[in-house]
Amino acid sequence: MVFLIVTVFLFASLNAQENQIKLKVVSELANIRDNADIGSMIIFQALQGAVFTSLGKEEEWYHIKYIQDSGETINGYVHESLVSEIKPPTAEKEEKKPERKAEESVKIKEARAPKTIILEQKTVPSAISKALPFSISFSGGGNYVAGGDINKGAAGWVDYNLDDLQTETQPNFKPVHLSYIFGGELSFAINEDLSFGIGADYLFGNKNSSVELSGVSPATSLSVQPEVQAFPLRVFLSCSVLPQLYVKSGIEYFMAKCSYLYRSEEGEAWKEWKGNASSQGLGIMAGLGYTISINSNISLFIETSGRIAKLNNFEGTNTYQDSEGLEYTEEGSLYIYEGHTSEEVSCPLLFIRDKKPSEAGVSNPKKATIDFSGVSLQVGIKFRF
């Protein structure tokens, strides 16, 4: 009885092994992933010709088992476009066939050759004909922006007034550099390691500085507030260099704004200049990111990126007001120029003017450049579909 049970068990095991599907890698390199998803983590890479044992299939993914030379067994998923099934040989009865002439044999081989080529082409299904997987991501963080002439003009206005008032007060100007940044991206997988995408960010930063003048009567104070805003739209390519590490680069189109506020207070009297200007231009960006998969559809990521974008030709409106009720506006371009308090001393001033400044006490006027170049650090979440 025991012998019969053992015999049946062995027969069933042998029969199961015969029914297992064998798969062979037909691409130069096949990525074995942790889950049946193109965004899942890569756990092993098999070379062309490697043979797997199929444990089943989930849509277009084979669940496989692979035994390495070291004896370690790997379980994972491989896309159907990277492998082909190995058909088991069928037993055929040998039959004596009449001898054929050499010429007839050559003709038969030539006639069969095209059919063989067609069959080989069909063993590798095309993944391009299927819909490309895509993902959506959202992120937020901090950004450092160079600023450019918006900072030079604000610092120069403080220095100009301090020198004009002949005070020994030290300037206490704080330039705008740090800003908030929020963004989103939509990307499409070209293959397992490369994707194409579009995205957008919004960054905003300002800085308020105040200076109380010493040794001046009545009490006098100066305050400045430079501000930058930008909405860059981009197209980019992202490439996976390691299972969880990627690099990206792209071109950005900036829709940008900048503004300034200069205010001087002497006792009860005050004067104030406000300017708002906008412009558009191109820039470039590059980034490096690290992903942490939560499951096959959701992952977290941290990304650092840098951009180069120097914009000019800002157009806008300058508004002047004071405590005596005087108010006027001036529309034009954003200029930076040297304002002279004496023949030896000059300070950079930034204002919106209706024409290029040319009055007395002014030199080197030119259109201002706002520098949105900088680096950012963002964290976010990505959803795959």
Per DSSP bridges, beta strands 269-293 and 315-322 are: antiparallel
Note whether 161 and 124 are same-domain residues: no
What tokens does 100 get? Answer: 């054929």
Q: Which CATH number belongs to the domain containing residue 29 in this structure? A: 2.30.30.40
Q: How many angstroms separate the CA atoms of 224 and 272, rounded?
A: 10
- Residue 312, domain member (yes or no): yes
Asked if the structure places residue 95 within a domain, the reply is: no
Q: Are 179 and 59 part of one and the same domain?
A: no
Question: Residue 247 pairs with which residues in a beta bridge?
Answer: 239, 288
Pair 147, 33 in one domain: no
Same domain, 166 and 123: no
Q: What is the pLDDT of residue 315?
A: 98
Question: Is 108 within a domain?
Answer: no
Say how far apart CA 311 and CA 198 lie, in whole Å.
22
53, 181: one domain: no
Divide the 385 residues of the chain into consecutive groups of 10 and give the mean pLDDT of each group.
46 50 83 84 83 85 81 84 77 46 48 43 39 86 97 94 81 90 96 93 95 82 96 97 94 98 94 97 97 92 97 97 95 96 90 95 96 97 93
User: What phi, psi does 6 have (nearest 5°)?
Assistant: -65, -40
- Tell whether 10 and 65 lie within a shared domain: yes
Q: What pLDDT is recorded for position 328? A: 95
Domain check: are 208 and 353 in the same one? yes
Q: Which residue has the tokens 């105040």?
A: 210
- In the DSSP assignment, the letter for residue 129 is T
CB 289 within 8 A of CB 197: no
Same domain for 143 and 54: no
> Are both 123 and 147 inside the same structural domain?
no
Does a structural domain hold residue 98? no
Residue numbers of the domain that contains 361: 134-384
Instruction: Please tell me the pTM assigned to this model.
Output: 0.68
Residue 183's pLDDT is 97
Domain membership flag for residue 106? no
In this structure, the answer to whether residues 312 and 271 fall within a common structural domain is yes
71 and 164, same domain (yes or no): no
Distances (CA, A) of 188 to 131, 133, 239: 10, 6, 12
Pick from 132, 40, 376: nearest CA to 234:
376
**pLDDT recorded at residue 322:** 95
Domain count, the chain: 2
- C-beta of residue 365 within 8 angstroms of C-beta of residue 354: no
Q: Which of 227, 224, 220, 281 is nearest to 255 (CA)?
A: 281
